[in-house]
């Protein structure tokens, strides 16, 4: 037959007394941490960070609305897209090849090597990208000047 299970209470008889005891023991058990926290709090106050945080909390929804407006602007979207494009380009660069490209010694500088490098497929492709970028930027300046 089933037997009843005794109900046990795992909290102290008087949890307020336990809480008061724990609070009373904090300064002795965590003295170094409390001193460090007070010193950090004082530094934040001296630097004006507490006032800044208080102001940010008070104006929370207003700040979020302004940030949302800025993030939704066409300029922010274009800047983010451009940053992602350049990030992808930088991500594909081989660091070893880049190191070789920038460490040119005096003996490596000759007209023949420069011409040979200028006639390579990669250099021609980069020149075309540069020309295309100049066209895009030129069109943007033309729009800006027309406005």
Residue ranges per domain, the chain? 15-50, 73-146
Pairwise CA distance, residues 115 & 125, whole Å = 15
Q: What is the mean pLDDT of residues 8-16?
A: 67
For 36, residues 6+ apart whose C-beta sits below 8 A from its C-beta are: none
Pairwise CA distance, residues 113 & 24, whole Å = 80
Q: Say which residue, 11 or 89, is predicted with more confidence.
A: 89
Say yes or no to pLDDT of 127 above 90. Answer: yes
Give pLDDT, residue 39.
Answer: 94
Q: What is the pTM of this model?
A: 0.45
Say yes or no to pLDDT of 12 above 60. Answer: no
Say yes or no to pLDDT of 14 above 80. Answer: no
Say yes or no to pLDDT of 133 above 70. Answer: yes
């Amino acid at each position: 037959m089933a037997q009843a299970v005794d109900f046990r209470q795992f909290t102290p008889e008087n949890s307020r007394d336990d809480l008061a005891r724990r609070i009373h023991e904090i300064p002795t058990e965590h003295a170094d941490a409390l001193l460090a926290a007070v010193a950090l709090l004082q530094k934040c106050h001296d630097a004006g960070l507490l006032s800044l945080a208080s102001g940010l909390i008070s104006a929370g929804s207003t700040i979020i609305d302004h940030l949302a407006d800025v993030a939704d602007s066409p300029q922010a979207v274009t800047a983010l897209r451009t940053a992602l494009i350049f990030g992808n380009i930088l991500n594909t660069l081989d660091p070893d090849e880049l190191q070789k490209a920038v460490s040119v010694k005096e003996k490596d500088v000759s007209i023949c090597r420069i011409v040979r490098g200028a006639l390579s497929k990669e250099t021609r492709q980069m020149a075309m990208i540069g020309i295309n970028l100049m066209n895009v930027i030129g069109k943007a300046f033309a729009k800006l000047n027309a406005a």
